[in-house]
Every structure is written in structure tokens, then in C-alpha cells.
Amino acid sequence: MIQISHVSKNYGSFDVLKDCSTTVSKGEVIVVCGPSGSGKSTLIKCVNGLEPFQSGEIIVNGTSVGDPKTNLSKLRAHVGMVFQNFELFPHMSITQNLAIAQVKVLGRQQDEAIDKGLKLLDRVGLKAHAHKFPGQLSGGQQQRVAIARALAMDPICMLFDEPTSALDPEMVNEVLDVMTELAQEGMTMMCVTHEMGFAKRVANRVIFMDHGRIVEDDSKEAFFANPRSERAQQFLAKILHH
């Protein structure tokens, strides 16, 4: 589904990504972790072309992301993305947030889009909030709406960039529960997160990044039982103790 091969990216003399390669097969859930500034967000944004990269290749569902001839909007319409800061559109009601891209990008009818959006809103347990605006919801609720908004586009895979990092601790689980359910239904997912409980529950593989490199790319069993690199060991020790 997603093939990342030898991707490198720099900002001037600073290498953000160094020769990163990995693949995500259909139905797989990959967790990406690593210290802050290690390039996790950059890597995941390269997958849907939000960040350009200088060398290497990324193929998503048969389409090369780096190819200048690729219609990125078309590709992104079917690659869901969830951000750390939710990024709902504050001036639109929850219903409009869910419907607008379906209408403007996929060309669906307004009522069809609203129907679909409300069904997904129900699924994330927020049906009663349809008429509200993002600013009137808690962070956890906003993030669940953001997931529903991405799902409304019938994505072939979902990218998550630290979806729970901006949340108060008591709201983390409501978002992780939605993600877990999604994973169990067979959604292909690439998740940047430090929630190791989530990784243990649903991940197929765990990728550990450090200084722009993919240092570990292991099945979760191997990763948690015995991380090979010292950096990953230190990192795990640190976050598992917290």
C-alpha cells in the first residue's frame, strides 16, 4: 500500500530524513516513534506529499508521490490524515466540517455528504454535537471529529501525526479507542505516537526513528522484547517509566 524507498530530505545543510525505507502493506498498522525532532512528522507528511523530498521514492497505492506529474490533490483525497492539533475548520459547524471536502473534492451531493458525515460522527460517539462548532468541543472530541472527517473521504489508508499529544491525559483514551477500533476493522494505518499501550495492542510493526534515520523497523513483539539499538532502548525505558 505504502512503499517508502531511500527517501532523503534536507533543509539546506540540515538532513531531516536520511535514506529512509519501509513498507506498509494493506491492513497493516505501523507505529512510528522516536525522540522529538527525529523526523517523524516530516516522514509521514512526505507520504501524502505535504512535504517535498529531494531523493528516493514513495509509492502510495501504485502512485508515485514525488513524481511532478502526479495529481497530489487526487491522491490526498483518499489518504486520510489526522494532526496533532486537530485542525478542524473553526468557522464551520461540525456537520460542515464533515461534509465540505466530500462535496468540494469528491463531488458528492450535499445531503449525501451530510448523511455520511453524521453516520461517522455517530460512530465516534458524537452525534449529539453535530450542530456545534469546533471551539465548543473538548480536545478529545475535536480529534474524534477530525478522524470522522478523514474517514468520510473513504480513505485507503490513514496517517496519524501524534494524534493524542495535545490532549489532556483524561481524553487520550477516547481517541485511542477510536483508533483501535479502526485498526481492528482492517484499516491501513501509519501512526506517529508515543502511546506504547496502543502500539502493543494493535500495531503490526514499530518503527523507531532517530536523527532522520529509521533505526529500527521490527515486529512489535521483537521491538518491545528486545530493541536492537541502544537509542531505542533508552527511549523505551524513558517513556515506559512515565
Ligand X SMILES: Nc1ncnc2c1ncn2[C@@H]1O[C@H](COP(=O)(O)OP(=O)(O)O)[C@@H](O)[C@H]1O
- 99-136 burial, b at 16+ Cβ within 10 Å, e below that, comes to bbbbbeeeebeeeebbebbbebbebbebeebbeebbee
Strand partners of residue 157: 79
**Which region, judged by CB under 8 A, interacts with another protein, from 113-121, 145-153, 208-216, 232-240?**
145-153
Q: Apex CA 72: angle with CA 66 and CA 76, to 5°?
A: 115
**What is the rounded distance in angstroms from the CA atom of residue 149 to the CA atom of residue 89?**
11
Binding mask 40-79 for ligand X (x = CB under 6 A): xxx-------------------------------------
Is there binding between residue 205 and ligand X (CB under 6 A)?
A: no
Residue 79 contact partner, candidates ligand X, another protein, Mg ion, none, CB within 5 to 8 A by sort of partner? another protein
Based on the shown chain and the rule CB under 8 A, indicate whether residue 85 belongs to the binding site for another protein.
yes
Residues 6+ apart with CB under 8 A from 92: 100, 133, 134
Told to check if 97 binds Mg ion by CB under 5 A, we report no
Q: How far is the CB of 236 from ligand X (least distance, A)?
A: 16
101 binds, among another protein, Mg ion, ligand X, none (CB under 5 to 8 A by kind): another protein
Nearer to Mg ion, 48 or 97 (CB): 48
The set of cell numbers assigned to 113 is: 455528504
Q: Are strands 29-33 and 189-192 parallel, antiparallel or unpaired?
A: parallel
Tell me the H-state helices in the chain: 40-47, 72-76, 94-104, 110-123, 139-151, 169-184, 196-202, 220-225, 230-240
Stretch of 31-39, 98-106, 117-125, 177-185 lying at the interface with ligand X (CB under 6 A):
31-39
> Which of 38-46, 64-72, 95-103, 219-227 is the region at the interface with ligand X (rule: CB under 6 A)?
38-46
**If DSSP codes are grouped into helix, strand and coil, which group holds residue 54?**
coil
Among 21, 25, 37, 52, binds ligand X (CB under 6 A): 37
Among 38, 48, 143, 188, which residue interacts with another protein (rule: CB under 8 A)?
48
- Judged by CB under 8 A, the residue of 8, 35, 133, 211 near another protein is 133
* 188 belongs to the binding site for ligand X (CB under 6 A): no
Cα dihedral across residues 165, 167, 169, 170: positive or negative: negative
List residues binding another protein (CB under 8 A): 45, 48, 50, 72-74, 76-81, 83-85, 87-91, 100-101, 104-106, 132-137, 149-150, 153
